[in-house]
Amino acid sequence: MSRLFSFILLLCFLIVSLYPFAWMFFSSFKTNKEIYQPAQLFPEKFDGQAYGMLLDGKFVDFGEGLWQSFFIAGSQSLLATFVSALVGFVLAKYSFRGKTFLIGAALIIILIPRQALVVPIFEWFNFLGWTGNSWSLILCGIASGLGVIFFTQSFRHLPDELIESSKLEGFSPWRVFRLILPLFAPGFVTYFLLHFALCWQEHLLALLLLDDNALTLPLTLAKLSDSSHRAPEAIGMAAATLSFIPILVLFGLFFGKMRTALSQLSLS
Amino acid sequence: MTGLPKKSFRQLLPLLLPFLLLWVLFWVVPLVMGIDLSLQSPNSGFLDPQLETVEYVGTENYKRTLNDPKFYKALSNTFVYVVGSVLCILPLAFLLAVSLFECQRILRGILAFCLLIPGLALPGAMSKLFYLFFHGREGVLNQYLVIPLGFDPINWMMDPDFIMLSLIMQSIWRWTGVVTLFFLCALEGIPKWHFEVAKLEGLSPLSKIRQILIPGVRKLALFVAVFLTVDGVASFSGAYSLLGGSGGMMDSGLLLVTYVYQVAFPGGSGRFDLPGAAAMSLMVAPMVAAFLYLVLKIRVLLKKG
C-alpha cells in the first residue's frame, strides 16, 4: 500500500476517533449556549464550575456511581478471568469425555447472550430476592463464553513438555495449572481488561437489577441526562470525562502486555 | 486432538465446577424460565410468587409476536444495523492495521492506543455527545462535511432515512479501533521469515497483502465478525441513550433489545408484557444462530469453489 494513502487514512481516522473526546473535554467548561453550537470547539473561558457541581452530589451521586462500577466490573472480571482460565486450560490440555459438551456450553453463551435473557433473569433474581444487590449483577456475568475461547486458544501454545513432565511427577491438573499460572500473566491481564471494559459498559442488566440508590456509571450518566432540563449540559460532559479517565489509565498501564498476549493468541 | 493426556471427567471436575455451576444458575435456569414464561398468559401474576394464577396459553405469545409488525420492523432494523456495521468495520480495520504495521514500532503503539480509545468510552456518554453532533443544522457533521460538499444539511436524528445510518456510524466509530488492535497484533504474530521469503521472491505489495497478511488475520476476522454480530444483536445502550428509549421517528431506529425492553417494562410503552417479551427474545436467539451458521456455510463453500 502506498505510504501516502496509509498516512491519510490513519490521519483521518485519528481525527474522527479523538475529536469527540476533545470536544467532550472542552465542553465540560462551556455554557449551555456554547454547547448547542457544536461546531465550536473551545469555550469562551475555562472555569471548572461543572466539576464542582457534579462532585457535590446535588444532581447525582457521582462518587457512588464510580465506586459501584469499579467494584462490580473489578470483581466480575477477576472472577471471570479465573473461572474461564480454568476451563480454557482443561479444554486445551486434556482430553476427556464431555469435552464437546463443554465447548458447546461455552459457544451457546456467546450465541444467546445475557441480554437476550434479561426478562427471565430479572424474574429469577426477583424470585431469589436478590434484585438490588450488586452481587446479582456480578454473578450473572462470570461464566463467559468469550473467556473460555480466549483461554483455550492461549493455553494451546503452552509447550506440551511441561504437561508431560508434570504428568510423570504425578501432579493433579490443579497443581499443573498453578505451576503454569506465572507464565501466563499477559494473557490474564488481557482478558481481565477486555472483560472489564465490557462490564464497565453494561447498561441493560444494571438498569434492571440495581436499586436506585446504588447506580453504576452508565445509569448515573443516563439519570443525569434525564435531568438535563435542570442540570447544565456541562455537568453531563464533566461526568462523561471523569467516567472515562479510570478505564483509560487502566488500559494505558497494561497496553504493552495486552499487545504481547494478543499477538501470541492469533498465532494459530 | 490426539496426544493430549486423557483424564476422567471426575478428575477434572474441581476445575470445571465453578464454570458449570454459574452456567447452570445464570444461564440454563433463566433459559428454562424464559421458555416457561413465554408459554404463560400475559395476565398471570408472574411477578408475585404468592399469586398462584399462572395460566398457560400454549404458543399464543409466539403467534402474537409473529403478527406484530413492530417485531419485524425491529428485526429488519437490527439486521441492517449488524450487517452494515460488520461489513464496514472489518475492511476498514484491516486497512488501518496494515497502515499501522508499516509504521515504526513506537509510533505504532501510540497510534493503536489512540484508535482504541473510542471503544473504551461508555456508549451512553458518547450517545449524548453524538446527539449534539448530529443535532440539527449546527451539528458538526453537517457543518464540516455535508454542507461543504454541497449537500443540504441532513437532519440526522429526525429523518427516518438517516437514523439507522447514524446508529451504524456510531457503531463503526466505537469498534473499528478495537478490531484494528486485534488485527495489528495478529499481523505482528506472523513469523518474520514469511516476509523474508516475500522479499527474496520480490512479491508486489498487493500480493504480499493477499498471500501473507490476509491469511494472517483470517481466523481472527471470523471470530471478530461473530463477536460483532452477537454484540450488535444485543446492543442496547447506544440506541437507548441516543433515542431516549423510543424507536426514534417512525421506529426507524428501533432495535430488537430496545423493543423487548419496551414490551416488558413500563416506561417504554407501558405494556408490562413479560411473556410476550420472553417469547420475542427466545425467537431471536435461533435466528442469530441460523444466520451465523449460514454465513459459516457460505464461507466454507466459497473456499471449496
- Angle of helix B256-264 versus helix B69-101 axis, rounded to 10: 140
Q: Which residue is closest to A27 within chain B, CA to CA?
A: B129
Q: Which residue is closest to B47 within chain A, CA to CA?
A: A123
**Cβ contact A120:B37 at 8 Å:** yes
Task: Name the segment(s) of chain A with CATH classification 1.10.3720.10.
Answer: 62-265
Residue B274: list chain A partners with CB under 8 A.
119, 123
For residue A217, what are the contacts with CB-CB under 8 A and spacing of at least 6? A65, A66, A68, A69, A200, A243, B122
CB-nearest partner of A167 from B5, B133, B220: B5
Query: Bridge-partner residues for B56, per DSSP?
Result: B40
Residue A3: list chain B partners with CB under 8 A.
102
ipTM for the assembly: 0.85
Residue A143: list chain B partners with CB under 8 A.
19, 22-23, 26-27
Does A115 contact B289 at a Cβ distance shorter than 8 Å? no
What confidence tens digit (pLDDT) does each residue in B294-305 have?
877 777 777 665
Calculate Rg over the CA atoms of chain B.
24
Does A96 contact B288 at a Cβ distance shorter than 8 Å? no
Q: Which of B75, B82, B89, B99 is the best residue to mutate to test the A interface, defined by the most A CB atoms within 10 Å of its own CB?
A: B99
Is the Cβ of A135 closer than 8 Å to some Cβ of chain B? no
Residue A10: list chain B partners with CB under 8 A.
96, 99-100, 103, 111
pLDDT of residue B138: 64
Question: In 3D, which of A203, A5, A187, A48 has the Cα closest to residue B242?
Answer: A203
Q: Which of A62, A112, A163, A191 is the best residue to mutate to test the B interface, defined by the most B CB atoms within 10 Å of its own CB?
A: A112
Residue B29: list chain A partners with CB under 8 A.
124
Does B31 contact A117 at a Cβ distance shorter than 8 Å? yes
Q: What is the distance between the alpha carbons of residues A208 and A178, in angstroms, rounded to a whole number? A: 38
Is the Cβ of A86 closer than 8 Å to some Cβ of chain B? yes
Query: At the topology level of CATH, where does B69-255 sit?
Result: MetI-like fold (1.10.3720)
Q: How far is CA A18 from CA A4, B59, B88, B266, in A?
A: 21, 50, 19, 37
Is the Cβ of A177 closer than 8 Å to some Cβ of chain B? yes
Q: Which residue is closest to A228 within chain B, CA to CA?
A: B128
pLDDT of residue B19: 92
Q: What is the distance between the alpha carbons of residues B70 and B60, in angstroms, rounded to a whole number? A: 17
Joined together, the cell numbers standing for residue A268 give 494459530
Work out the minimum CA distance from A106 to partner chain B, whole angstroms: 9
Question: In 3D, which of A185, A254, A259 has the Cα closest to residue B108?
Answer: A259
- Angle of helix B256-264 versus helix A118-128 axis, rounded to 10: 40
Does B16 contact A102 at a Cβ distance shorter than 8 Å? yes
Torsion region of B270: left, alpha or beta (phi above 0 gives left; psi -120 to 50 gives alpha): left
Calculate Rg over the CA atoms of chain A.
23
Work out the minimum CA distance from A71 to partner chain B, whole angstroms: 16
Does A9 contact B234 at a Cβ distance shorter than 8 Å? no
The ranges of chain A with pLDDT < 70 are 1, 162-163, 166-168, 227-229, 266-268
With b meaning 16 or more CB within 10 Å and e meaning fewer, what string describes A102-131?
bbebbebbbbbbbbbbbbbbbbbbbeeebb
Is the Cβ of A100 closer than 8 Å to some Cβ of chain B? no
Dihedral sign for Cα B23, B26, B29, B31, please: negative
pTM of the model: 0.85
CATH number of A62-265: 1.10.3720.10
Is the Cβ of A238 closer than 8 Å to some Cβ of chain B? no
Q: What is the pLDDT along chain B (305 residues), one digit of tens a residue?
A: 456 777 788 878 888 999 999 999 988 998 998 888 888 877 655 555 555 566 777 788 888 888 888 888 888 898 999 999 999 999 999 999 999 988 888 888 899 999 999 888 887 777 777 777 776 666 677 777 777 776 777 776 667 777 888 888 888 988 999 999 999 988 888 888 888 888 888 888 788 888 888 887 887 888 788 888 888 887 776 677 666 666 666 677 788 888 887 887 765 444 577 888 888 888 887 888 788 888 777 777 776 65
pLDDT of residue B1: 44
With b meaning 16 or more CB within 10 Å and e meaning fewer, what string describes A206-219?
bbbbbeeebbbbbb
Joined together, the cell numbers standing for residue B79 give 439486521
Is the Cβ of A169 closer than 8 Å to some Cβ of chain B? no
The residues spanned by each domain of chain B are 69-255
**Cβ contact A79:A138 at 8 Å:** yes
Is the Cβ of A168 closer than 8 Å to some Cβ of chain B? no
- CA A155 to chain CA centroid, Å, is 22
Residue A1: list chain B partners with CB under 8 A.
95, 98-99, 102, 205, 209
Q: What is the distance between the alpha carbons of residues A261 and B1, in angstroms, rounded to a whole number? A: 24
Residue A137: list chain B partners with CB under 8 A.
none
Does B219 contact A266 at a Cβ distance shorter than 8 Å? yes
